[in-house]
Structure 1
Amino acid sequence: MRRVTMKTLYAGPARTVAAGQTADFEDAEAEGLVAGGYGVYEGDTRPKPEAEDKPLDKRTVEQLKAYATAQEIDLGEASKKADILAVISAAEDAKE
């Protein structure tokens, strides 16, 4: 078991953990949450990688929206990660 402090809401079949709360997770699930950027291990004080260092498909929706804003890309109604990635990709292809 690993303790993870959530950065986003976690809603699983057995419980819900709000952003900012810490909870115990099985090792594999904790690893997935931390690797996906949804939480950090309790007490982890290492600096977090900047979003600019990540490929677009590894960024969170919030990071993708910030990227689109910085690149002056209008996301329109896109709100899901796959849709946002598609709009960004199309906009970048159009610039070339």
Structure 2
Amino acid sequence: MRVQFTRAVASPTLAARPGQIVDLPDVQAQQRIDAGHAVAVGQPKPRLRDRLPGRRRTEPRTSAKESTVSQTRDGAGDGKALEKLTVDQLKEYADERDISLPDGGRKADLVAAIVAALSAGE
């Protein structure tokens, strides 16, 4: 594996200056990379958050709309989650549930109408 040294290294088997590119066996190259002495050449550099322990995200992120829809279906939607949606998303949400909305209403009016319709439907 080809590595580029980030700092000066001197050992009985290897001497390298910062910026020098050397071809090393995979095991030795990985040891130098893990120690922070070198970076792999020709491979993407790992992001800092991927190298820090406990910072890896294992669950995929959900969008605000998906979380709001799931909260409302579970009965936890009290309008606060709906306020995160855009006006277009609110209209789409109301259309999916056959909720009538006021014409030319502002976002607050749309949220209030949806909350009222959901409360009446329960």
Larger radius of gyration: 2
Larger RCO, structures 1/2 (Cα 8 Å, 6+ apart) = 1
Q: TM-score range by the shorter chain?
A: 0.3 to 0.5
TM-score, length basis structure 1: 0.45
Higher strand share goes to which structure? 1
